[in-house]
Structure 1
Amino acid sequence: MASLLVGIALAQTVAHWTAASLAKAAEERGTRPANCPLAPTTKIVSFIRSILAVFVTTMLSHTSIVIPRSGSSSVLDRLFRTVRQCRMVDINALRMFEKVATLKSFTSSARALGVPKSNVSRAIARLEDELGTRLFQRTTRDVVLTMTGEALLERSPGIIAKLSEALDYVRSLAGQPRGLLKISAGVGFGVNVLAEQLPGFLLLYPDIEIALDLDSRPADLVADAVDIAVRMGPLPDSGMVAVKLGEIRRYLCAAPSYIERRGRPSSIDHIAQHDTIDMPGQNGRARAWTFSRGGKTTRVEIKPRLAVNEALTVHRLVSNGAGLGILSGYICAPQIVEGRLVHLFPDWSPTPVEVNLLFPSRRELSPVVRAFVDYMKQVSGPGSLWMQDPLAVSSAG
C-alpha cells in the first residue's frame, strides 16, 4: 500500500505541473496553443489518465489489491479524487534520490549533478519528509538504502521517464522547447566542434539548459540518463535511435621531425615497421588500419608503439613527432597545407568515420532533443565546421 501511495503522489506531480503549465500558456497566449489539435483540457486529461494507469499497474503489481477490468474507469476516478489529497513529490528531489541510491554517496552524486552537496542533502530530507519515511541509513562511511528506499529505487527510473515525457509534452504546447538537455560526446568532438556550435544553439533556444559530458568512453545513455550522444564510427545494435550527420575524412600523417628521423615508409605495407599511434579497439586490442584506392581495399595490421584512448591526444602526439597516425581531416588538413604535417600515401584513403546522433527511443519526440537534432543537421552540411577540409576541397576540384 505504501508503494501505491508513492505512485499516487508522483501522479499528482504530473497533474499539478500540467495544470500549471496549461494555465501559464493560456494566460500568455489568450487562446489554446495553435499546435494542439484537440482542446487542451481533453487531451491533457486523457494523457494524464494514461500515465496514472501505468503508475497504478506498476504499483499494484507489488500489492495484494486487485482492480476488476470492468470497473477500471471508476477506480481511476476514485484514485484521482484521492490524488488531490496527496502531497506533491519534487521531481528534482526524486532525480537526486536516484543518483544517490546509484552512486551510494552524497558527495559523488552532487559532483555528477553539478550542484552543491548541501542541495542534495536538503532535497533527500524533503523527499523523506513528503513520503513520511526514511529512504537511507546514513553512517560516517556508508549510505545504505532502507527497505522503502529500495522499493522506490526499483520503480523510480520508469516513473521519472514518464514524468519527463509528460512535462516535455506540456512544454511543447507552450511553444519554445525548454528544460535540461544532457549531451554526451568524445573530448575531441566536444572541444573542436560542440564548443563552437553550442553557443548558436543556446541563442536560438534561450529556455534550454545544457549539461555537456565529455569522455573518451561512450556513456550508457539509459543508466547515465543521457538525452543524446554524439557517436563516431560504427554503431552497436542497441535499439537506440540514430540520426546520421555525415562523415569525417581522415588522413595518414606524420610530423616532419619524424620523417627526418625515421624516413618515409616506402609502401602502404611498410607502415607496420614504423612507430604508430592509435586508439585501442574493442577489449583493448589493436585495430587494423584499412585503406582504399580505386575500388581496391587493403588492411594493415599494426602494433601501436603508443596507444591512447583519446583522439585529440593522438593528433597532438603525431604533431609532436611521436609516430604515424590517422587523423581527422578537419583538424589535420590545415597543418598539412601549412607544411606542419606530412600527408603520407595521398592516393590511399583511410576509411571515413561516420558521425551520428544517438538517443533512447523514449526521447525521440522530446521537443528539446528534436530541436538539438534539427540544429545539428542544419549546421553540419557541406562546408560546415567539422566538414571543412581543404584537402577534400582541392581533390574535388
Structure 2
Amino acid sequence: MDLENLRIFIEVARRGSFAAVARDHNIDPSSVSRVVASLEEELGIRLFQRTTRHLTLTESGNLYLCRVDSLLDELEHARDEALAVSVGPIGTLRVTTSVAFGHKFLVPLLPEFRDLFPDLKLELLLTDTNLDLVSERVDLAIRLGPNIQIGVICVKLFNTRYRVCVSPAYLEREKYLHVPDDLRVHKCLLFTLPNFRSRWLFRDNNGTVSEVPIEGDVVISNALGLRDCALAGMGPALLANWLIDEDITQGKLIDLFPNYHVTATDFETAAWLLYPSQTYLPNKVRVMINFLKRKCSDCK
C-alpha cells in the first residue's frame, strides 16, 4: 500500500475537501479524487460519503482513519529517527505566527536556521488568524498572549510585556503625560481587539491595579501599523516589548510609564510554542524548538 496515498486520505479526512488538499499539494483535485477512489477500491470499502456540498467520512472510513493515522505516525517516527542519524532533519517544516511577530522576530532568524539545516524546507505562514494546526498541516505555531490551553502541546518561549510609548516629537508637542490617568485626554492609537481599544490596565510597584479608559480615532488591526503610526508622532500606543524595545533604546520611541506594568488583557503574557499533540515530536520540529529556545535564552 502506497504510504503517500494514505497521507492524502488522512489530509482529505481532516480538511473535508478534495480541493483544499489539492491546493496544498499544488495538484489537480481530480488527482486527489483518484487517489481516494483507488484506496477505496483496494480496501473494498467506501471511505467517504460524497454530496454536491459535503464530504464526510463513512463509519468504515472513520474506523480506518483512527487506525492508520496512528500507524502512519509510527512509520514517520521510525523514518525520522533513522534519517536523523545520517542526514539530519529533512522534509517540510510548516510554521505559523502573527504578521508582526513573524516580520520582527522570526524572519531575521531564518538565515541562521537555514545554514544549520540546509536540507529542511521551510513554509512560514504569517497571519493574524489562529490557524487550526491539524487541518492546516501546521507543524509549529508561535502564539502570543496569556497561557494557552487548547488541546495542543504548549511550551513557553519567553515572557512578554507591554509598554505605552510615544515619539519624542509627540511628547514635545503634548507635554502633559506624566501619569497613566493623563491618557484620558489624548487620542490614543488603538488595536482592533475589544479590550485593547477601550481601556488599559496599569499595575504599579506596590501591586495596585488601575484601569484607564482610552479613546482614539485611529484603529489598526496590525501591530506593525500601530508602531509606524507611533513613530510618526500620531499618539500613544500600547505595544509589545519585542516590537519596540529597540526603538526605545535608539530614542525613536519613549516608554511613558516605565515604572508600571501595562496590559489590555492579562499582566502575565508570553510567546508560546504550540504543536499538535502526537505520540512523538518530529525531528524537524524539535530542531526548530531547540533553535528558538537557544536564541531566546536572554529574552526578558
Specify the alignment match of 1:241 in structure 2.
Answer: 153
User: Larger relative CO (CA 8 A, sep 6+): 1 or 2?
Assistant: 2
Q: For residues 123 and 147 of structure 1, do their structure 2 counterparts lie closer, same or farther at Cα, with a shift above 3 Å needed?
A: closer
Q: For residues 337 and 178 of structure 1, do their structure 2 counterparts lie closer, same or farther at Cα, with a shift above 3 Å needed?
A: closer
Specify the alignment match of 1:93 in structure 2.
Answer: 8
Residue 212 of structure 2 aligns with an amino acid whose one-letter code is E
In 2, the alpha carbon distance for the partners of 1:165 and 1:235 equals 30
Higher strand residue share: 2
Compute the RMSD of aligned alpha carbons: 3.3
In 2, the alpha carbon distance for the partners of 1:154 and 1:325 equals 52
For structure 1, the 5+ residue unaligned runs are: 1-11, 14-87, 393-397
After TM superposition, the structure 1 stretch with the greater mean CA deviation from structure 2, 194-203 or 256-265, is 256-265
TM-score by length of 1: 0.61
Specify the alignment match of 2:205 in structure 1.
Answer: 294
Q: 1:252 touches 1:325 (CA, 8 Å); kept in 2?
A: yes
Higher helix residue share: 1
User: What is the correspondence of 1:247-286 to structure 2 with a 5 Å cutoff?
Assistant: 247-281=159-193, 286=197
Specify the alignment match of 2:82 in structure 1.
Answer: 173
User: Which residue, 288, 292, 298 being the options, matches 1:376?
Assistant: 292
Specify the alignment match of 1:198 in structure 2.
Answer: 110
Q: 1:89 touches 1:127 (CA, 8 Å); kept in 2?
A: no
Deviation at 1:324, TM superposition (A): 1.0
Q: For residues 122 and 153 of structure 1, do their structure 2 counterparts lie closer, same or farther at Cα, with a shift above 3 Å needed?
A: farther
Larger Rg: 1
SS at match of 1:245: strand
Q: 2:95 touches 2:125 (CA, 8 Å); kept in 1?
A: yes
Q: 2:141 touches 2:274 (CA, 8 Å); kept in 1?
A: yes
Deviation at 1:343, TM superposition (A): 2.5
Q: 1:136 touches 1:143 (CA, 8 Å); kept in 2?
A: no
- Note if 1:116 corresponds to 2:31: no
SS at match of 1:210: strand
Q: 2:166 touches 2:256 (CA, 8 Å); kept in 1?
A: yes
Percent pairwise identity: 23
SS at match of 1:183: strand
Deviation at 1:164, TM superposition (A): 3.0
- Note if 1:189 corresponds to 2:104: no
In 1, the alpha carbon distance for the partners of 2:18 and 2:39 equals 22
- Note if 1:129 corresponds to 2:35: no
- Note if 1:163 corresponds to 2:163: no
In 1, the alpha carbon distance for the partners of 2:229 and 2:127 equals 19
Query: For 1:294-350, what per-residue CA distance to the aligned partner results, in whole angstroms no more than 9, with x for missing partners?
Result: 333333333442443322222122222332112233432333344332331233343
Deviation at 1:124, TM superposition (A): 2.5
For structure 2, the 5+ residue unaligned runs are: none
SS at match of 1:277: strand
Specify the alignment match of 1:326 in structure 2.
Answer: 238
TM-score by length of 2: 0.78
Deviation at 1:364, TM superposition (A): 4.8
Q: For residues 314 and 353 of structure 1, do their structure 2 counterparts lie closer, same or farther at Cα, with a shift above 3 Å needed?
A: farther
- Note if 1:145 corresponds to 2:145: no
Count of residue pairs brought into register by the alignment = 288
Q: For residues 204 and 334 of structure 1, do their structure 2 counterparts lie closer, same or farther at Cα, with a shift above 3 Å needed?
A: closer
Q: 2:11 touches 2:135 (CA, 8 Å); kept in 1?
A: no
